[in-house]
Structure 1
């Protein structure tokens, strides 16, 4: 198969994914792009303007809404409905899908694009239209069932439009890359043929997530020396079952005050969770990506709390990063977490929503003669063999090459 270097346009039109932010989605974009570039591909990234991104960075181009479209958005923001409804944001996405086709097409022609790779966003049909117009294949990356997720956890007004556009976009892509087997099943139900679906879970960059990073820096900063430190790293979103985690650590702290939770991240549930006033929790807020390893290194065990079946679509980035740092990990027995952790070999599993079971698994790690080091070593071997961004980039290259070969035949 011809895997020659290619000119790849990477489209990320989700206004909620800043290119250089701390979110897992931003890490996913950045690491995928860097891995593709290490293979020799010429990759240009296109995104709406964000405060974190600025107007231009090498290889990254911010394409804001301008002209009359920008004035329309300004006026939409002033509508009475804007303060109490998600509708203006949905209009913005639809308007951007039309606007970006006009402003980006000539850039892609000048670039000599071979392949479009797009991170799917709700109402985002511009990539499909551009690929058709330019006669190039499009690989569509899907990270969650967005219309379902938006309606359940946030707000969605144009439910019918969102669902129908989602079906049309996904079934129109030349290849659909999903991050879990359960998500592949959902995509298949929408009508995407199995032959177009590829499962590529999130990955790690071993050069960033290094097991040799010292543990003392963060412990000293937050006065955590001598603690039995349980860690969580991630966005404080509803699908992260942090109530169960907090209740589990509460049970342990009641028996032994050395137990403590280091909660690294920020998100919509921060205010609500902090209002509990738990004395056994240290809240750090969001930290830069390059500082995450020092926070993971500070912990004795890393937890991945998730809810039940409805949350099994996700690919837990922070689980893989903890495994890459040889940490003993404890995850909910659901979806990709269950698939990644071989129970009592590369980590421990607990029943979702069961704080008593989670507390027992945490205590079990501290009772191990090696403090879970054997679990961590096994986790490291597994994740380096199965979950790296470079491995994903190689597979993306193979898919793109196959699609280009079919078009040339």
Structure 2
């Protein structure tokens, strides 16, 4: 009987409860373990934009985490990296030891300059760091077709496959505990970062077309928390901060709709977006109000699971909220369509099968 394959998972983005990055990491590891892999996570333990820690502290964390994994590379059959510009040392180290390295790509190097504006002048450096890793990779996994095309051009090879995000269909489903929040509300679940449209959804709440009896519930934290704190003078705004992963489904189930109003700042979303929040809301049977961006819009349109709005359009968000509020039967139908789509095509069980097949193929080459 052959031994289980062993995978080292490297994340230089500190996993934190309530953040999409931790959800993504946990779900991929769990799904691969279902397929017989032995997976060990190597992740930084401190820092990150939401904690406002110093860059020096983060650099030290990057070095310690990669050194810990580097010393144990002989214990693994492959290395899976959640794409990060500072992972180049480990990428080269693993390549030198002839270990296949797989990078999971959720965005382009432009994301760094969007999140940290003061780093934007250094974009060419970040691009070089990413390209140096991607060119040497055994396999690149991208979450949208647009990112697949971009990665092939950027890396200069075709060892790129599409594996999108998904939802934990055992946890996120229409049936389950009711919401602890009473009354009618629309919900946003996610990081409070620039491209998630935090300012735009807060502006939508002030639009005349936003129903007066409908609240906006925000679940999450991040570098744009100041905008939310300043808007709390509006009694219709409820900010819950980060919530435990298993508490989110009930909050979603009670909502009239879920906001996925990602914006295209500096072109960072032009290659498509596939946010976890979209799949999880759909899995709970909640209609989504989503910005009209590649992949996300195609998915919502094809599944008939929500309403599309132009990016960064507060009035359009408010109008969509009003439309769903005044047509509850339609809202319920859109929600059922979304839940059926996720159960059929986008659970983490299905994503795990895809990643398992691709990893085994990369190792065998």
Contact residue 320 and residue 387 of structure 1 kept, 8 A = yes
Aligned length: 355
* SS of the residue 2:212 aligns to: coil
Give the Cα–Cα distance (whole angstroms) in 2 for the partners of residues 323 and 22 of structure 1.
Answer: 18
Give the Cα–Cα distance (whole angstroms) in 1 for the partners of residues 66 and 226 of structure 2.
Answer: 39
* SS of the residue 2:140 aligns to: strand
* SS of the residue 2:7 aligns to: strand
Aligned partner of 2:69 among 101, 104, 109: 104
Deviation at 1:203?
Answer: 1.1
**Measured at CA, do residues 382 and 216 of structure 1 come closer, stay the same or move farther in structure 2, by a change above 3 Å?**
closer
Aligned partner of 1:200 among 159, 163, 171: 163
1:285 aligns with 2:241: yes
Deviation at 1:28?
Answer: 0.3
Give the Cα–Cα distance (whole angstroms) in 2 for the partners of residues 192 and 387 of structure 1.
Answer: 29
Give the Cα–Cα distance (whole angstroms) in 1 for the partners of residues 66 and 190 of structure 2.
Answer: 34
Aligned partner of 1:162 among 98, 118, 126: 126
1:341 aligns with 2:300: yes
In the TM superposition, what whole-angstrom CA distance separates every residue of 1:101-136 from its partner, at most 9, and x where no partner exists?
A: 554344232x3x112111111221133223223322
Deviation at 1:321?
Answer: 0.2
Alignment partner, residue 23 of structure 1: 19
Alignment partner, residue 177 of structure 1: 141
Q: TM-score, normalised by structure 1?
A: 0.79
Deviation at 1:237?
Answer: 0.6
Aligned partner of 1:372 among 318, 331, 336: 331
**Measured at CA, do residues 89 and 169 of structure 1 come closer, stay the same or move farther in structure 2, by a change above 3 Å?**
farther
Give the Cα–Cα distance (whole angstroms) in 2 for the partners of residues 247 and 193 of structure 1.
Answer: 43
Give the Cα–Cα distance (whole angstroms) in 2 for the partners of residues 4 and 200 of structure 1.
Answer: 26
Deviation at 1:162?
Answer: 2.3
Deviation at 1:5?
Answer: 4.3
**Measured at CA, do residues 314 and 326 of structure 1 come closer, stay the same or move farther in structure 2, by a change above 3 Å?**
same
Q: TM-score, normalised by structure 2?
A: 0.88
Contact residue 218 and residue 294 of structure 1 kept, 8 A = no
* SS of the residue 1:311 aligns to: coil
* SS of the residue 2:196 aligns to: coil
Give the Cα–Cα distance (whole angstroms) in 2 for the partners of residues 404 and 310 of structure 1.
Answer: 32
Aligned partner of 1:149 among 95, 98, 111: 111
**Measured at CA, do residues 366 and 91 of structure 1 come closer, stay the same or move farther in structure 2, by a change above 3 Å?**
closer
Q: Where does 1:205-220 land on structure 2 (aligned, <5 Å)?
A: 205-219=168-182
Deviation at 1:333?
Answer: 0.5
Q: Where does 1:285-324 land on structure 2 (aligned, <5 Å)?
A: 285-308=241-264, 309-312=267-270, 313-324=272-283
Give the Cα–Cα distance (whole angstroms) in 1 for the partners of residues 45 and 225 of structure 2.
Answer: 26
In the TM superposition, what whole-angstrom CA distance separates every residue of 1:8-33 from its partner, at most 9, and x where no partner exists?
A: 11111x1x422x52210111001100
In the TM superposition, what whole-angstrom CA distance separates every residue of 1:206-247 from its partner, at most 9, and x where no partner exists?
A: 11112112334232xxxxx3x3x1111111111011222223
Q: In terms of Rg, which structure is larger? A: 1
Structure 2 alignment gaps of length 5 or more: none
In the TM superposition, what whole-angstrom CA distance separates every residue of 1:358-382 from its partner, at most 9, and x where no partner exists?
A: 2222222122251511111111111
Give the Cα–Cα distance (whole angstroms) in 2 for the partners of residues 361 and 334 of structure 1.
Answer: 16
Alignment partner, residue 384 of structure 1: 343
* SS of the residue 1:177 aligns to: strand
Alignment partner, residue 315 of structure 2: 356
1:400 aligns with 2:359: yes
